[in-house]
Amino acid sequence: MKRVIVSADDFGLSEAVNEAVEAAHRDGILTSASLMVAAPAAADAVRRARRLPDLAVGLHLVLVDGPAVLPRAAIPDLLDATGRFGADQARRGFAYSFRPVLYRQLADEIAAQFAAFAATGLALDHANAHKHMHLHPGVARMMIEIGGRFGLRALRVPAEPPAVLAAAGTPLGIGGHALYAWSRVLRRMARRAGLMVNDHAFGIAWSGHMTASRLQRLAPHLPEGLSEIYFHPAAWRDPALVALMPEYEHEAEFQALRDPELAAALPVRTTYSAAARDL
């Protein structure tokens, strides 16, 4: 059976993102959103989520290129002077593997972000990580272990099948194939911990450019099983989005989520929690 979770990342990043999430859920096909608990508009996102009982909300764990929950004094080796994680993802991933002090500070911050989500009172539908940082085995191990204390039951595996993308007109290069193969490590870890995971994910190769025309090309080729299609929608382009993601088509992605033709083309839409109940 083909089922699709339609989700939005960066919930809480700005009011433009939050407005798009709310409208795309009310008037479109969005089923889920992933909350950045330390982002500038997180409180606004939580208020909106509380009045959307059918919107499944999870944690979008931020350990790179974004704000932290803990102050710099608590995790000084992870943050810059402004209290943010840097965008140097490859260097950070390498350092996380070989510097135990970073490992301890990461564990503290991961726990703080799960605790901040719990404090919202929202049900934890799932978790994932900003820029897929949980593909790092050490981060994944901590995320799974700490998340379990907070009731984590589902985890996104960013596994975008190359054959499907090729059929949709976008052959993946070596990097895409390597990422797909590496995602098996995360899948095994999550399943050993008893977590539910998606079978496929879409939004990596076309990140920031999940337009209606591309999704129409993808829809006929969606494989059997549970797919997660994730977006970065925004109702308008605010200064934060322009600065952080200058090339992203946020408004076009928002329009795609409310496109009636795309709604008709996608199979049964669900959430992690609902899919788990159907097993």
pLDDT digits (tens, 9 = 90+) for 228-270: 999 999 999 999 999 999 999 999 999 999 999 999 999 899 9
Per-residue confidence at 279, pLDDT binned at 50, 70, 90? low
How is domain 2-61+123-144+152-278 classified at the CATH fold level? TIM Barrel (3.20.20)
Burial 26-50 (b: 16+ CB within 10 A, else e): eebbbbbbbbbbbbebbebbbebbe
CA atoms within a 13 Å half-sphere pointing along the CA-CB vector of 233: 30
Whole-number Å distance between alpha carbons of 219 and 262? 8
Contacts by 131-136 with C-beta closer than 8 Å and gap 24+? 131/64, 131/65, 131/89, 132/158, 132/204, 133/61, 133/63, 133/64, 133/89, 133/93, 134/61, 134/186, 135/179, 135/182, 135/183, 135/185, 135/186, 136/93, 136/96, 136/97
**pTM (two decimals):** 0.96
pLDDT digits (tens, 9 = 90+) for 118-168: 999 999 999 999 999 999 999 999 999 999 999 999 999 999 999 999 999
pLDDT digits (tens, 9 = 90+) for 189-203: 999 999 999 999 999
Residue 278, Cβ neighbours under 10 Å: how many? 11
